[in-house]
Each structure stands twice: as structure tokens, then as C-alpha cells.
Amino acid sequence: NAGVTQTPKFQVLKTGQSMTLQCAQDMNHEYMSWYRQDPGMGLRLIHYSVGAGITDQGEVPNGYNVSRSTTEDFPLRLLSAAPSQTSVYFCASSSLPGGSYGYTFGSGTRLTVV
């Protein structure tokens, strides 16, 4: 089924470890973004991309890196995990940057940093 696929679904890291959260979409969407969801905080934008090779920072970019080498993939890297990065991470994509057709969300990655 067409959509946004996130892996892994669950992950436990130790403080200081690094990892990459994967996001792939098969809808040929140009616009992709990463959000983190924390209780009582809603979803906050980490990084976004308007096309292959183009990325920009969102509201809470510190501690995260992204790259966009292909239209399909938009991985999120944690270089040195901290307990403050314990959260649920969602990847989203849209065919238009304004999201006028809506954004399609992945099912999320639940990350715990101990």
C-alpha cells in the first residue's frame, strides 16, 4: 500500500549512542518532514525538506541531522542520544509544500533514551 513507512517502530538507546530513524515514501512526494510528539506539547517540527538535496531546520533541530539524497527517503539521525530525546517521532510527506492535499504521516517510532 502506498504511504509513509517508518522503521523501527520501537527503539531503546543508551545515552550517547547514535542511531538513524528511517522514513520512506512511495508517493513521489517532494515535501517531507520530521516531527516529535511529546505529551501536552503537540507535534513539533524538527527538520523538513522541499526536495532531494534541500533540507532546512524546524522548531527543534538541535541534536538531530537529516539528509535527502533521494525523493523517497528522509532519514533522521541522532548523533549522541540524550534522555530529552525520548519521544515519539513521526515522518510526514506531501505532494505540495503547503500541504493543500494534506500530509501523509507514518505510524511513528517510539524512542526511549535511558
Partner 1 sequence: AQSVTQLDSQVPVFEEAPVELRCNYSSSVSVYLFWYVQYPNQGLQLLLKYLSGSTLVESINGFEAEFNKSQTSFHLRKPSVHISDTAEYFCAVSVGGGSNYKLTFGKGTLLTVNP
Residues that bind partner 1 in the complex, under the rule CB under 8 A = 4, 30-31, 33, 35, 40-45, 48, 50-51, 56, 58-59, 90, 92, 97-100, 102-103, 105-108
Q: Could you tell me the smallest distance in angstroms from the CB atom of residue 29 to partner 1?
A: 13
In the block, which residue shows the cell 533522521? 76
Among 3, 67, 56, which Cα is nearest to 29's? 3
Smallest separation, CB 100 to partner 1 (Å): 5
**How far apart are CB 47 and partner 1 at their closest, in Å?**
11
Contact 11, 19 (CB under 8 A): yes
Of 35 and 74, CB closest to partner 1 = 35
Q: Which is nearer to partner 1, 35 or 64 (CB)?
A: 35
Strands 64-66 and 76-78: antiparallel
User: Using CB atoms within 10 A of its CB, is residue 73 exposed (0-12), middle (13-18) or buried (19+)?
Assistant: middle
